[in-house]
Amino acid sequence: MTEAHATTAASANHATVSPALASHFHDLRQQHAAADLGLWIFLATEILFFGGLFAAYLVYAVLYPDGFLEAAAETEIVIGTINTALLLTSGLAAALAVKAAGADMRRSVMVLIAVTIGLGVVFLGAKGYEYWLDLGHHLYPTSPDFPLAAPPAKLFWSLYWMMTGLHAVHILVGLGTWGVVLFQTFRRSFSLTDNSRVRIAGLYWGFVDVMWLFIWPLLYLMGRAT
Amino acid sequence: MSDIPYRDVDVQGEKPGGRLMEESYLGEKFSIWSWLTTTDHKRIGILYLLSTTLFFFIGGAAATLIRLELFTPAGDLLTDDGYNKVFTLHGVVMVWFFLVPVIPSVLGNFLIPLMLGAKDLAFPRLNLMSWYLNIIGGGFAVWAMLAGGVDTGWTFYTPYSTAFANSHVSLTAIGVFISGFSTIATGVNMIVTVHTMRPPGMGWFRMPLFVWAIYATSLIMLLSTPVLAMVLTLLVTERLLGLGIFDPNRGGDPILFQHLFWFYSHPAVYIMILPGMGVVTEVITCFSRRRVFGYAAMVYALLAIAVIGFFVWGHHMFTSGQSMYASLTFSFLSFIVAVPSAIKVFNWIATMYRGQITFEASMLYAMGFVGLFTMGGLTGLFLASVPVDLHLHDTYFVVAHFHYIMVGGMVSAFFAGLHFWWPKITGRLYPETAAQIAALLMFFGFNLTFFPQYILGNIGMPRRYHAYPDAFQVWHVLSSAGAVILAAAYLMPLGYLVWSLIWGKRAPSNPWRASGLEWETDSPPPKHNFLTNPTIEGSVYDYHPAQEPRREPADD
Amino acid sequence: MSLPKTPQRTGRAPDAERQHADRRALLPPLMPELGVFVALFALAATSVLVAFWSALGGLAILACLAIAVVMAALVMIFFMHLRSAMAVMTLAGLAGVVWLAILFGLTMADYLTRPGNLGATMQTPAQAESEAEAAN
């Protein structure tokens, strides 16, 4: 035990054991590996969570190609594409924040997290406006004035609300996480290099990006070529 | 649990060997609050033991009502609606709140860090959170029951569950959804612990097979549970928000629900049996005093079952309207999963062969497991075959088959493990004779309850009916009589195990002369598990018969 | 980009002058992330063009999804730092994708082999009723 600590301390140039090290780990390397692996495994489960939805989309798109192409042409492609750009940019900011945290650049981390959060909030704002427009067009499956005749259109629009809604929930969780990390970074309540917090939040945010990269073509780019 | 008897042994001081003693994990603090906020994996294991026991008795009460109702042909005790609600409650509670968490979260939680020589699981707070999520999920299920019940069966098939059922489907589905997060949290914790916290010297192929079993189980949990979460989300949003994707009026396909549901629920059967296989391996090797036969084959069989288990779900849907070509494919794949299962059975028997077998209670349970699992597995082959399944689908044959796997298999294995590690968990020895009687009683009671159901199914009794023609009564009476014995056999351990907490003899650190790191620390273990970091030497199953010269471990 | 040099109080004393300068910089080194970001934008623009390109018709979505796979790979490798992560983390991510393929593959094995025309075999209850009436 003491030997393990001694080698850690030497390699990390510390005089003492980092306060970030939990008592059941030998050293920070082990602790970081556990945190990263844990989050990656969680992301694998998230892939399968959204995967159930994508499977439903796949089945119905193959069964009713025409109905889906027609229904998909009704989504707000401009807002959807702007949102893609927003998320990619905030993904860049998040990736740089993780990099800055590795170099212990506290000020840089705070700026980049603030940018990430800002872009995420704008994304949600645009999403809300889009929902408002959709409801104005009665594009809700239970609406009596639903504009599309083919029954499968309602399947598409059910999937639209589910996919975008669940994605928005994930954005909200991500924003909450970033908010906490930003506050703690500001308060200097944890060591940027010894803790995994910024990296974990960055990984989660990257995943939210990746999911949107598939939702965007499935819901917005579909059915545009006429 | 945290009562006085531990106080006197847990004094700080010096042992004869010069080792510094540390307070045991039970003796550290006594308040309820210290238990409810603990992050110690051993205490969380105990919390899970208490909660799963509670759910076991809730599910067991429902089973009692079912067997009472089926004692007579007329539907006299319960209405048809009431019967639907009772068997749904039985299924939901037993599957998600007893069988899935019972071994990974009780024994796995307690033992994985001990077996790996670690101080705790990788994420102790996540571990505690998983218990609370399990309790909250179970709370929803019980709330749904008290509010009037659910009548869809534990499978929630659409379109009945989405378009017609007026019972508390959403509430129950939300409960199961929440408990899914608890399962995922446990799975993440176990996998990360095994990957990052093995001690120096313990390579992958020197891990105890129980650790391997929990690892394989966690893989299944992580890869299947999210799909269940999604399908339940779709179910609830269809009911509550009208976002219907299974609705036939919109061209939706209710069979899609079955595909997504069984993508989880078939692998979930392996979530419910692989940990049992791990327990039984440890018990059999110990009480045969023989090294596990074919260690590597056992590992590969576990992993093969975990992976192939994902390719077979369609065998639940032969009669659903699924394409017959898909049915034939699923049928073939289902036969393949029998191969690694058979390898395990052969290896358990080969482990016992020429061993110095003793019949402690946990060994009796484990041997019962091997027999009942084989029986359940072989009847599974009947059901995997399309033409036979067309005859037997949704009959009592299916009921008997999966109870042989889940109750005969998993519950026996849980009792085997609970008895085997009871001295380690509590520091007390249980009364051996009483336990042996309970084990035998459980084996006979179980067979009397469920074997007649094979016959019932074959002669045409469908499942999920509360009344039936007189011709079936004799078999139902036998089954109900067996259930009485079974109930007694389940209540006995509750009695003598609790008795042993107070009056049982103090356990030495290794009462069974078993190998494995968990036996090297005190019984009960100190708070941080090991006072000195354990070292790994020799092979993992270092048993050898006394009359045989000790050989060097082979390359296994 | 890394212009402002306001002094930063940090928990520990800097080890080297270079590291010291890094800590005071507003931004960390921008490459390769910025390059990847430009590539992502270019791919997104391509995807939009492909989606509106009428020659592909309904199949445009497949091309868009292929581009999405490339973009997702870029995000995971560079933004989620899979490049420098342990192999087991790549394995965890891959497991999610492989199991997704199992789910898609075996589910579609059913739908693609059902008798009759796809989609036409699926009837809404209303359609089934009217057909039954027509048959009478």
Contact call for A96 and C27, based on CB within 8 A: yes
Q: From B308, which residue of chain C is nearest by alpha-carbon distance?
A: C102
> What pLDDT is attached to residue B544?
67
Q: Which residues in chain B are closer than 8 Å to C130, comparing Cβ atoms?
A: none
**Quick check: B451 pLDDT over 90?**
yes
Q: Quick: pLDDT tens for B214-259.
A: 999 999 999 999 999 999 999 999 999 988 899 888 888 999 999 9
Give dist(CA B234, CA B240) in Å, integer.
10
> Chain B within 8 Å of C115 (Cβ-Cβ)?
yes
Give C22 or B142, the one with higher predicted confidence: B142
In a domain, C15, yes or no: no
Contact call for A55 and B118, based on CB within 8 A: no
> What pLDDT is attached to residue B70?
94
- What is the CATH number for A195? 1.20.120.80
**Tens-binned pLDDT, residue by residue, of chain A (226 aa):** 344 444 444 444 444 677 888 888 888 888 999 999 999 999 999 999 999 999 999 999 999 988 899 899 999 999 999 999 999 999 999 999 999 998 888 889 999 999 999 999 999 999 999 999 999 999 999 888 888 888 889 999 999 999 999 999 999 999 999 999 999 999 888 888 888 899 999 999 999 999 999 999 999 998 887 6
Q: Which residues in chain A are closer than 8 Å to C100, comparing Cβ atoms?
A: 47-48, 51, 54
Mean pLDDT of chain B: 90
Contact call for C124 and B250, based on CB within 8 A: yes
Contact call for A224 and C52, based on CB within 8 A: yes
What ipTM, to 2 d.p.?
0.90
Q: Which residues in chain C are closer than 8 Å to A49, comparing Cβ atoms?
A: none
Give dist(CA C10, CA B308) in Å, integer.
53
Number of domains chain A contains: 1
Closest by CA position to B165, among listed B186, B146, B187, B149:
B149
Q: Which residues in chain A are closer than 8 Å to C50, comparing Cβ atoms?
A: 221
Residues 65-124 on A with a CB inside 8 Å of B are 67
> What pLDDT is attached to residue A16?
66
Q: Which residues in chain B are closer than 8 Å to C103, comparing Cβ atoms?
A: 227, 260, 263
> What pLDDT is attached to residue B22?
66
> What pLDDT is attached to residue B346?
96
Tell me what the mean pLDDT of segment B380-405 comes to.
Answer: 95
**Quick check: B3 pLDDT over 50?**
no
Give dist(CA B81, CA B88) in Å, integer.
11
**Quick check: C23 pLDDT over 80?**
no
Give dist(CA B68, CA C57) in Å, integer.
63
Number of domains chain C contains: 1
> What pLDDT is attached to residue C111?
92
> What pLDDT is attached to residue B433?
95
The token duo for A175 is 């924003």
> What pLDDT is attached to residue C28?
81
**Quick check: B134 pLDDT over 80?**
yes
Give dist(CA B154, CA B175) in Å, integer.
12
> Chain A within 8 Å of C24 (Cβ-Cβ)?
yes
> What pLDDT is attached to residue A127?
96
> Chain C within 8 Å of B263 (Cβ-Cβ)?
yes
Q: Which residues in chain C are closer than 8 Å to B251, comparing Cβ atoms?
A: 119, 122, 124
Q: Which residues in chain A are closer than 8 Å to C107, comparing Cβ atoms?
A: 55, 58-59
CA distance B11 to chain A (A): 23
**Quick check: B420 pLDDT over 60?**
yes
Please name the residue that has the structure tokens 């929630």. Answer: B156
Side-chain half-sphere exposure of B545, counting CA atoms within 13 A: 11
Least confident stretch, B2-6, B171-175, C74-78: B2-6
Q: Which residues in chain C are closer than 8 Å to A159, comparing Cβ atoms?
A: none
Residue B79: partners with Cβ closer than 8 Å, 6 or more residues away = B466
Contact call for B223 and A45, based on CB within 8 A: yes
Side-chain half-sphere exposure of A71, counting CA atoms within 13 A: 29
> Chain B within 8 Å of A21 (Cβ-Cβ)?
no
CA distances from B394 to A185, B132, B316, B318, B398 (A): 59, 35, 10, 11, 6
Q: What are phi and psi of B114, to 5 degrees?
A: -65, -45
CA distance B474 to chain A (A): 45
In a domain, A24, yes or no: no
CA distance A52 to chain B (A): 5
Domain B41-248+264-520 belongs in CATH node 1.10.510.10: no
In a domain, C117, yes or no: yes
Give C115 or A204, the one with higher predicted confidence: A204
CA distance A168 to chain C (A): 18
DSSP assignment of chain C, as one string? ----------SS--SSHHHHHHHHSSS---TTHHHHHHHHHHHHHHHHHHHH-GGGGGGHHHHHHHHHHHHHHHIIIIIS-GGGS-HHHHHHHHHHHHHHHHHHHHHHHHHHTSSSSTTTT---HHHHHHHHHHH-
**Quick check: C9 pLDDT over 90?**
no
Give B456 or B29, the one with higher predicted confidence: B456
In a domain, A55, yes or no: yes
Counting beta carbons within 10 angstroms of the beta carbon of residue B460, is it exposed (0 to 12), middle (13 to 18) or buried (19 or more)?
A: middle
Contact call for C109 and B250, based on CB within 8 A: no
CA distance A63 to chain C (A): 4
Residues 89-108 on C with a CB inside 8 Å of A are 89, 92-93, 95-97, 99-100, 103-104, 107-108
Contacts 24+ apart (CB under 8 A), C114-120: C114/B323, C115/B323, C118/A62, C118/A63, C119/A63, C119/A64, C119/A65, C119/B251
Give me the domain span that covers residue A63: 39-221
Give dist(CA B212, CA B486) in Å, integer.
31
Give me the domain span that covers residue C110: 86-136
Tell me what the mean pLDDT of segment B127-156 comes to.
Answer: 93
**Quick check: B547 pLDDT over 60?**
no
Percent of chain B surpassing pLDDT 70: 93
In a domain, C11, yes or no: no
Contact call for A69 and C58, based on CB within 8 A: yes
pLDDT band, residue B539 (cuts 50/70/90)? confident
**Quick check: B14 pLDDT over 50?**
no
Contact call for C68 and A41, based on CB within 8 A: no
Q: Quick: pLDDT tens for B333-367.
A: 999 999 999 999 999 999 999 889 999 999 999 99
pTM greater than 0.80 (yes/no): yes
pLDDT band, residue C125 (cuts 50/70/90)? confident
Contact call for B226 and A46, based on CB within 8 A: yes
pLDDT band, residue B304 (cuts 50/70/90)? very high
> What pLDDT is attached to residue B9?
41
> What pLDDT is attached to residue C17?
47
> What pLDDT is attached to residue B463?
94
pLDDT band, residue B378 (cuts 50/70/90)? very high
> Which H or E element spans position B288?
helix B274-288
**Quick check: B541 pLDDT over 50?**
yes
Q: Quick: pLDDT tens for B168-182.
A: 999 999 999 999 999
Give dist(CA B20, CA B269) in Å, integer.
45
**Quick check: B399 pLDDT over 70?**
yes
Q: Among A55, A104, A105, select the one facing C103 at the smallest CB separation.
A: A55
Q: Which residues in chain C are closer than 8 Å to B311, comparing Cβ atoms?
A: 102, 106
